[in-house]
Amino acid sequence: DFDPDPDPDPDFDPDFDPDFNPDFDPDFDFDFDFDFDFDFVDLRAVSCDWLQGSGIWLELTRDSPARFAVRLALLALGMRGTGTMRNDLLQSRIWLSATVAMLLLASGCGREEATDTDPSDHTAQARSQDVVQPEFPDGDPSVPPELGGPGFTGEGWETVEPYALGDPKAVPGGAITTNIPEWPGNIRMAGTAYNTWLNYLIRDLCYQSLLSLDPNTLEYIPVLATHWRVSEDQMKFEYRIDPRAHWSDGKPITAEDVVASWRMRMDETLQDPSAILVYGKLNEPVARSKYIVEVTAKDRNWRNFLYFSGMSVFPAHEIADIPGSEYLDRYNYKLTAVSGPYTIEERDIVKPTSITLTRRSNFWAQDQKWNEGLYNFDKIRFLVVRDDNLAYEMACKGQLDFFLIQRGEWWAKSLPEVEAVQKGWLVRQKIYNDAPNGVSGFALNMRQPPLDDVRVRKALQHLYAREELIRTLAFGEYTPTDSFWPGSEYANPENEQVRFDPEQAVKLLAEAGWTERGPDGVLVKDGSRLSLTITYYNEGFEKYLTSYKEACSLAGVEINLDRSNRETMWTNMMERKFQMVMINWGGLVFPNPETSFHSTLAEVNDNNNLTGFKDPRVDELCAAYDVAFSQEERRAIIREIDSIIYKSFPYVLAWYQPCQRVLYWNKFGMPEFGFWRTTEYENAFSLWWIDPAKATALKDARKSGSALEVPPLEIHGWSKAQ
């Protein structure tokens, strides 16, 4: 094991080779293995200093305690010479034979390549997959038109004429590099513990569903299906799959893939009770033909069509004949054949340092109007940087292209003093849109005392001095959360604003029987001390936790702080092995209270009902919500649910941010609105591109020390945000 987040090299110059292209060159690819003995390896991981600087990528596998096989692949050319190469290799204590070193250098020096800042010339070159043509590009002629085959007219079906979702000015090519805080526990698209931010992003870029929602209008648009049909009673849904659609291995996408994808989600050995809850409302889909799939609902539910249409489809020829348990094992760090614009090649899963997505050359829909201006980057790289401060420094130095600003201090205090920001090279920006806000705070395990008492839980909320912390530590950048759907039309405006009030907290604790204090000042009841543990992973949040701990101590509540890594914390959350855990949930465009607050999930592991919340009225309202086909009725139901949950205090709520703060180098093009109306910052990986003119101007400005025009500090691209 080695630390992938060392202190940055003080002598490292991120601009030492502005023409360096770290993209894979399909014209020159060689692999060779050789063995050697040594006692110690010190790979200075995000010392991608030398990994990127020399153009060499290493994958190490241990054969014995003192013996390694090193697989070297030349991913990019343009190395600067033997001295730099030799010094970097010596620095990493990897000794190569002179023959091997000369082979690398002879192959690499003198080659001229297009660069990340000159994307227009190497769009096709950066893709390493072989183009696989489907057997029937226009559809299987054995399938009659009325069953979706060639000649299908679509009469009586719904569809939408295609239009561009991206910006026609977008230029394809190049790469974008960002960070993730830890090595992921998996990169699976289904099953236990798969529901992470990174997996959702991979899913959206590598796989497709039958339909999608226009992220601006929220109207249904075709993806794998060209047409769809809904019965008058809203109980039967039919889809016609595009005969041109095919997997990355060349096999056609058919109705059987949809059936297999549903079956997999219903497999109990996949350990995903939330998926069973959602897709179990539907009967097993039926493949009416190669291109027509039909599914019927068990009960009327306006979300049945939404969820089935949006279900990611997987290849039946890989998943149909294996149980869910085998899928969990086989595909933990491996993708099936994919249908979307990107894939992850095996060599680009470099544990524990990075994961890279590669744009596919054989994406079946790349020339469709829907995809005009989208999926522009040839490579999307995620570097594992465990320390938030180091990641911030890397972004400021240019070692990361794109960075989410998670601390108010960085935004308000540090970044205005950074020379690159002042000169317009590095852009800090707030982008406002209608993306739903999630919930952040401390989830309370209500299954066990003392957190099974609502008075104790409300007291803990009263001890959180949120407004003061926002003002003093977060530079006023946030808004206290008073709803489980904050900042949206679903938030109940009648919810009580529970603010910092230590006296009220002590009163509530006394009502719950916590009246006596032990010699250490901690409240005692029936021989038990009022001692609670908060589990968290983000070191940057410790200043808030320390303040909360002090406030609780004055009220007689002992707070222990337990810093964990994300993977361990997530596992313990799913197994309900916690008292209080710091969590930040993403938001949904269409609320789904069932998967987080329904009683059927309260005592079941591996779902989002972390707190064990149960309420019969909420269960009733969830059922009513399912059959509420008008937005006005749905809004009223969610507001009532919000009120009930809020009064139960299953969370000590924190705050939310009504915009998205990003930091990026001034070489990107984007639509004038920045992000789509309902999406979050990861939208940049689909929508942005490297602008050749901006990239050249940035390169010249950094060389000369001159300033660029500073982009606007805020983007208000949508009416609600304005």
The residue ranking higher by pLDDT, 680 or 15, is 680
Q: Are strands 714-716 and 426-432 parallel, antiparallel or unpaired?
A: parallel
Spell out the residues 6+ positions from residue 614 whose beta carbon is closer than 8 angstroms to its own: 599, 602
76-80, 345-349, 469-473: range with lowest mean pLDDT: 76-80
Buried b (16+ CB within 10 A) or exposed e, 30-64: eeeeeeeeeeeeebbbbbbbbbbbbbbbbbeeeee
CA distance 498 to 516: 25
Residue 132 has pLDDT above 70, yes or no: no
Token representation of residue 674? 């920045």
CA distance 46 to 30: 24
Question: What's the first-to-final CA gap in the chain, in angstroms?
Answer: 49
Model confidence at 111, in pLDDT bands (50, 70, 90)? very low
How far, in Å, are 1, 55, 134 from residue 72 at the CA level?
20, 10, 33
CA distance 408 to 426: 17
Give the residue-averaged pLDDT of 114-131. Answer: 39
The answer to whether the CB of 356 falls within 8 A of the CB of 335 is no
Regarding whether 414 and 334 lie in a shared domain, the answer is: no
Supply angle C-alpha 468, 470, 471, rounded to 5: 65
The answer to whether the CB of 116 falls within 8 A of the CB of 22 is yes
Model confidence at 27, in pLDDT bands (50, 70, 90)? very low
State which residues form the domain around 202: 145-341
Token representation of residue 668? 């990107």
Q: What is the pLDDT of residues 601-643, one digit of tens each?
A: 999 999 999 999 999 999 999 999 999 999 999 999 999 999 9
pLDDT of residue 139: 87
Spell out the residues 6+ positions from residue 153 whose beta carbon is closer than 8 angstroms to its own: 145
**618 within domain boundaries:** yes
Token representation of residue 541? 């949040």
Regarding whether 688 and 623 lie in a shared domain, the answer is: no
Token representation of residue 301? 């539910």
The residue ranking higher by pLDDT, 115 or 645, is 645
pLDDT of residue 35: 34
pLDDT of residue 138: 78
Regarding whether 619 and 475 lie in a shared domain, the answer is: yes
CA distance 592 to 536: 26
How far, in Å, are 167, 359, 684 from residue 207 at the CA level?
22, 12, 18
**364 within domain boundaries:** no
What CATH number did the domain enclosing 298 receive? Answer: 3.40.190.10
State phi, psi for 645 to the nearest 5 degrees: -65, -45
CA distance 722 to 460: 35
Q: Is 296 buried (19+), middle (13-18) or exposed (0-12) by CB count in 10 A?
A: middle
Residue 582 has pLDDT above 90, yes or no: yes
How far, in Å, are 44, 91, 108, 350, 383 from residue 82 at the CA level?
20, 14, 11, 26, 27
Closest CA to 169 of 120, 116, 219: 120
CA distance 722 to 710: 21
Closest CA to 19 of 107, 84, 74, 79: 79
Residue 89 has pLDDT above 80, yes or no: no
Regarding whether 688 and 640 lie in a shared domain, the answer is: no
The residue ranking higher by pLDDT, 1 or 321, is 321
Spell out the residues 6+ positions from residue 3 whose beta carbon is closer than 8 angstroms to its own: 45
DSSP designation for 512: T
Residue 501 has pLDDT above 50, yes or no: yes
Regarding whether 68 and 154 lie in a shared domain, the answer is: no
Q: Are strands 651-653 and 440-444 parallel, antiparallel or unpaired?
A: antiparallel
Total residue length of the chain = 722
**377 within domain boundaries:** no
CA distance 573 to 478: 26
Q: What is the pLDDT of residues 506-554, one digit of tens each?
A: 999 999 999 999 999 999 999 999 999 999 998 889 999 999 999 999 9
Place of tokens 């919000």: 642
**Could you tell me what percentage of the chain is helix, strand and coil, using 3-state DSSP and rounding each to the nearest 5?**
30, 20, 50
Query: Using CA of residue 63, residue 65, residue 66, residue 71, what is the dihedral sign?
Result: positive
Residue 64 has pLDDT above 60, yes or no: no
Instruction: Say which amino acid occupies 407.
Output: R
Q: What is the pLDDT of residues 148-197, one digit of tens each?
A: 999 999 999 999 999 999 999 999 999 999 999 999 999 999 999 998 99
CA distance 147 to 292: 6
Spell out the residues 6+ positions from residue 592 whose beta carbon is closer than 8 angstroms to its own: 303
Model confidence at 122, in pLDDT bands (50, 70, 90)? very low
CA distance 444 to 91: 48
Beta bridge partners of 562: 535
DSSP states of 519-583: TTS-EEETTEE-EEEEEE--GGGHHHHHHHHHHHHHTT-EEEEEE--HHHHHHHHHTT--SEEEE
**417 within domain boundaries:** yes
Regarding whether 633 and 681 lie in a shared domain, the answer is: no
Residue 570 has pLDDT above 60, yes or no: yes
Residue 29 has pLDDT above 90, yes or no: no
Regarding whether 237 and 214 lie in a shared domain, the answer is: yes
Instruction: Say which amino acid occupies 177.
Output: T
**120 within domain boundaries:** no
Of 61, 96, 113, the residue at which a domain comes to its end is 113
Regarding whether 304 and 183 lie in a shared domain, the answer is: yes
CA distance 466 to 472: 10
**188 within domain boundaries:** yes
SS3 377: coil
**9 within domain boundaries:** no
- Number of domains observed in the structure of the chain: 4
Regarding whether 407 and 542 lie in a shared domain, the answer is: no
pLDDT of residue 590: 94
How far, in Å, are 109, 497, 570 from residue 536 at the CA level?
48, 25, 10
Regarding whether 611 and 540 lie in a shared domain, the answer is: yes
pTM beyond 0.75: the answer is: yes
Residue 679 has pLDDT above 70, yes or no: yes
Q: What's the mean pLDDT when you consider all of the chain?
A: 85
**132 within domain boundaries:** no
Of 97, 113, 129, the residue at which a domain comes to its end is 113
pLDDT of residue 718: 85
What CATH number did the domain enclosing 470 receive? Answer: 3.10.105.10
Of 287, 309, 341, the residue at which a domain comes to its end is 341
52-61, 497-506, 525-534, 646-655: range with lowest mean pLDDT: 52-61
28-37, 216-225, 625-634, 677-686: range with lowest mean pLDDT: 28-37
State phi, psi for 578 to the nearest 5 degrees: -160, 165
Number of neighbours of residue 29 by Cβ within 10 angstroms: 11
Portion of the chain with pLDDT greater than 70, in percent: 81
Regarding whether 590 and 482 lie in a shared domain, the answer is: yes
Buried b (16+ CB within 10 A) or exposed e, 350-378: beebbbbbbbbbbbbbeebebbbbbbbbb
Regarding whether 464 and 598 lie in a shared domain, the answer is: yes
pLDDT of residue 61: 35
